[in-house]
Structure 1
Amino acid sequence: MWPWGQTTQLLVEPPWTPPVLWDRVTLTCHGLGTPGATTWYKDGQRWWQKGPDRFVVTESGTYQCYRPGTGRSPPVSVFNGEGGLLVLQVPVWALLEGDMVTLRCRGWQDKPVASVSFYREEKQLQRFRDGTELSLSPLGRYRCNFQMGTNRLESVPVTVTVHGEHPHGRHPKYSDSPTLIPSRLPITVSSC
Structure 2
Amino acid sequence: MAEYRGLRFDPTPGNAGAVAAASERCAAAFADPSASPRGWSGAAADGFRTRLEAVVSELTAVRRAMRAAAEVLDGWAGTLLGNQRRAEELDRRALRLRRDLADVADEVDRTGALARFTAAHGSAHDEAVARHDELTRQLDEVLDEARRLERDHHAEARRVAARLRAEEPSTAVADALTGFSALTAELASVLLGPPRPAVTRGAGAAFRAGLG
Q: Shorter-chain-normalised TM-score: which range?
A: under 0.3
Greater C-alpha Rg: 2
More strand by percentage: 1
TM-score with structure 1 setting the length: 0.22
Taking structure 2 as the reference length, what is the TM-score of the superposition?
0.21
Higher RCO (CA 8 Å, separation ≥ 6 residues): 2
Say which structure is richer in helix: 2
